[in-house]
């Protein structure tokens, strides 16, 4: 979808969407946290319209897919943050596409998590500018080697650029500089600011962690990361006031799922956490503010979801909707303007695709098992105060907000109603939810292409720590060959930037605030590759940094798998990194 700049249309507000990572309902002082102080987030909460029964999915990539498209995660095929299910399928216009087509400049600063290679990158999905990192977190398997939250290298304009400072500070600073530039050029803008904090690893400067050092486990660093977010919200507010942008900018704040570290300490009365279908896994805060619109700060009840935000912003900004564009969400503009008092009475479904923890582990019974598919019934079905979990547990949040009492036997009529709705919903989304979206190779827009274990179908392999440990896992990629021709595949255990041979270890990394352990050696002596039905193998030497294969490919979809073996022919693992290059 084409986008252009140009002078600002009269009456069109700017838009900022801020999404934090793994921050649950309990991680705000305005919601009663007894220790954590979040004065700037509290002020935003006090000044905005608050949706009090607002839902996402309990995992990061599915929530981002819903937010960007207005469609249910199962419909987007991005149903898990890695394991080959984190790619937002093509053909679905994104929020950035729609704003760009309506004359806005669009920018992303932070965590994308909907595809690392063409045609899934931010620049392929409607963003004019982006400072971002790949996959699930800084320090993920495809991220720049030894990125550790401080003075890291991030992707921009197809390359890597180093930015000084703590990650969240960098993303806010880059976003604010970009907004100042757009304001000076009189260009309306849409900014998507999806932070990677407070996601693991819990790296944060000491001054943010120190006030919470008496708390157990990861809480000092986890709360410190949120304190840093809050400080940056304050800096953003100062910038909006100083530039005169505050009044005519719609600011949206939400989080991507429930808490990852704080549930045992304080969870605002909710049961559950990230990855769980209980309320604490997917019910999150959502505040919206637009001073020029004169919205009265207040709470709004009734079921709402992040799929609602795109149609809502379309209506508020007066944007033209592309022909044929459909949403699973609904516009909440009337609620925000005070024309309607409560959200529509409707039924919603929360579902994503978990993975087998041991899938792909070499030598395990699950190594050769087919990838996990979305499971019928593994969902939270919501209607009014009722929650049907996994088709077998029914809760009435009006009387039991902590979801302790299963009422499935007392209210079979409610359970049947929700099951019937779910059956129809499942029929519509199942084909998309079960399908794997392929990684593209040989495209003119990106050649070579880096494939990593993050996209192994159904196999969890997404952390540089797993590479350093030498996790003995393997899996295959779904691949789409863009153009027939001769291809070169370089198989690596370490990323090229590490400069290490296939079989050797690497030293520990001591960053300014983060630490990664030494990488263990593996006795790799042989490599093999299979693309479709074609299979090649070769021996590798002690100093070889990659095993390179050349073979002709035809255009179309296929599967790619690699192996590393020891000198006795025992499988060790797959190639964690594969560079695919179309030659000529």
Closest CA to 304 of 270, 343, 337: 343
The pairing of strands 526-531 and 534-539 is antiparallel
d(CA 348, CA 305): 8
> How far is the C-alpha of 270 from the C-alpha of 404, rounded, in Å?
10
What is the pTM assigned to this prediction?
A: 0.96
- Which residues contact residue 88 at a Cβ distance below 8 angstroms, ignoring those fewer than 6 apart? 65, 68, 69, 76, 77, 78, 94, 114, 115, 120, 125, 437
The whole-angstrom separation of Cα 447 and Cα 292 is 46
Parse the chain into domains and list their residue ranges: 14-344, 439-582
Here the tokens at position 388 are 């049907």
pLDDT by position in tens, the chain (length 584): 333 333 333 469 999 999 999 999 999 999 999 999 999 999 999 999 999 999 999 999 999 999 999 999 999 999 999 999 999 999 999 999 999 999 999 999 999 999 999 999 999 999 999 999 999 999 999 999 999 999 999 999 999 999 999 999 999 999 999 999 999 999 999 999 999 999 999 999 999 999 999 999 999 999 999 999 999 999 999 999 999 999 999 999 999 999 999 999 999 999 999 999 999 999 999 999 999 999 999 999 999 999 999 999 999 999 999 888 999 999 999 999 999 988 999 999 999 999 888 889 998 887 777 888 899 999 999 999 999 999 999 999 999 999 999 999 999 999 999 999 999 999 999 999 999 999 999 999 999 999 999 999 999 999 999 999 999 999 999 999 999 999 999 999 999 999 999 999 999 999 999 999 999 999 999 999 999 999 999 999 999 999 999 999 999 999 999 999 999 999 999 999 999 999 98
Secondary structure element (H or E) that encloses residue 193, with its range: strand 189-194
CB 146 within 8 Å of CB 509: yes
* 544 neighbors 176 (Cβ within 8 angstroms): no
Per-residue model confidence (pLDDT) at position 278: 98
The owner of tokens 């290059």 is 581
Nearest to 352 by CA among 83, 69, 87, 79: 79
Query: Which pLDDT value is given to residue 401?
Result: 97
Q: Can you tell me the distance from the alpha carbon of 380 to that of 288, in angstroms, rounded to the nearest whole number?
A: 26
Task: Indicate if the alpha-carbon torsion angle 501, 133, 259, 233 is positive or negative.
Answer: positive
Report residue 269 as tokens. 């009365």
**Distance (Å, whole) CA 140 – CA 65:** 19
Cis check: omega of the bond before 201, within 30 degrees of 0: yes
pLDDT at 6: 33
Q: How far apart are CA 356 and CA 341, in angstroms?
A: 44
What does each C-alpha distance from 404 to 32, 140, 263, 327, 409 come to in angstroms? 21, 36, 16, 34, 14
The per-residue pLDDT for 371 is 82
Name which CATH class applies to 14-344. Answer: alpha beta
Rounded CA-CA distance 68/47 in Å is 25
Would you say 416 and 404 are in contact if contact means Cβ atoms under 8 Å apart? no
- Residue 7: the pLDDT is 35
* pLDDT at residue number 1: 36
CATH class as words, domain 439-582: mainly beta
């Amino acid at each position: 979808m084409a986008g252009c700049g140009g002078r600002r249309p009269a009456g069109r507000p700017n838009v900022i969407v801020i999404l934090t990572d793994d921050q649950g309902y309990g991680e705000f002082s305005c919601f009663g946290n007894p220790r954590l102080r979040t004065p700037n987030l509290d002020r935003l909460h006090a000044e905005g319209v608050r949706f009090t029964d607002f839902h996402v999915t309990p995992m990061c990539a599915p929530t981002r897919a819903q937010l960007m498209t207005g469609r249910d995660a199962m419909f987007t095929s991005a149903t898990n943050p890695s394991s080959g299910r984190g790619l937002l399928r093509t053909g679905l216009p994104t929020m950035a596409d729609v704003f760009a087509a309506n004359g806005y400049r669009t920018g992303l600063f932070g965590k994308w998590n909907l595809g690392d290679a063409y045609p899934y990158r931010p620049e392929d999905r409607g963003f004019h500018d982006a400072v971002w990192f790949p996959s699930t977190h800084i320090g993920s398997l495809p991220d720049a080697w030894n990125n550790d939250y401080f003075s890291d290298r991030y992707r921009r304009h197809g390359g890597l650029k180093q930015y000084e400072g703590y990650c969240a500070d960098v993303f806010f600073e880059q976003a604010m500089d970009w907004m100042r530039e757009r304001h000076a050029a009189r260009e309306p803008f849409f900014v998507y600011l999806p932070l990677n904090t407070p996601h693991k690893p819990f790296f944060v400067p000491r001054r943010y962690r120190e006030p919470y050092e008496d708390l157990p486990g990861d809480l000092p660093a986890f709360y410190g990361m949120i304190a840093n977010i809050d400080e940056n919200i304050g800096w953003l507010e100062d910038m909006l006031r100083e530039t005169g942008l505050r009044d005519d900018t719609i600011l949206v704040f939400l989080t991507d799922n429930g808490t990852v570290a704080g549930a045992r300490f304080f969870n605002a009365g909710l049961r559950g956490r990230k990855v769980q279908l209980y309320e604490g896994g997917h019910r999150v805060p959502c505040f919206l503010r637009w001073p020029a619109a004169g919205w009265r700060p207040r709470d709004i009840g009734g079921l709402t979801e992040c799929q609602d935000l795109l149609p809502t912003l379309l209506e508020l900004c007066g944007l033209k909707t592309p022909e044929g564009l459909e949403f699973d969400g609904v516009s909440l503009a009337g609620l925000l303007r005070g024309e309607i008092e409560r959200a529509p009475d409707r039924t919603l479904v929360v579902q994503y695709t978990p993975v087998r923890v041991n899938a792909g582990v070499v030598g395990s019974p699950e190594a050769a098992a087919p990838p996990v598919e979305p499971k019928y019934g593994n969902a939270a079905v919501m209607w009014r105060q009722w929650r049907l979990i996994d088709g077998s547990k029914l809760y009435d949040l009006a009387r039991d907000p902590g979801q302790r009492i299963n009422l499935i036997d007392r209210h079979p009529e409610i359970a049947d109603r929700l099951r019937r709705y779910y059956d129809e919903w499942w029929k519509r989304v199942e084909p998309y939810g079960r399908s794997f979206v392929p990684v593209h190779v040989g495209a003119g827009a990106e050649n070579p292409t880096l494939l990593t274990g993050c996209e192994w179908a159904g196999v969890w392999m997404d952390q540089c720590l797993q590479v350093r440990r030498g996790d003995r896992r393997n899996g295959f990629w779904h691949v789409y060959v863009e153009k027939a021709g001769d291809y070169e595949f370089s198989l690596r255990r370490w990323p090229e930037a590490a400069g290490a041979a296939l079989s050797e270890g690497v030293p520990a990394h001591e960053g300014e605030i983060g630490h990664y352990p030494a990488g263990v050696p593996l006795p790799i002596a042989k490599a093999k590759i299979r693309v479709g039905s074609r299979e090649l193998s070769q021996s590798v030497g002690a100093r070889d940094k990659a095993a390179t294969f050349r073979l002709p490919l035809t255009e179309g979809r296929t599967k790619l798998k690699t192996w590393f073996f020891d000198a006795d022919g025992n499988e060790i693992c797959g190639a964690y990194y594969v560079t695919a290059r179309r030659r000529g």
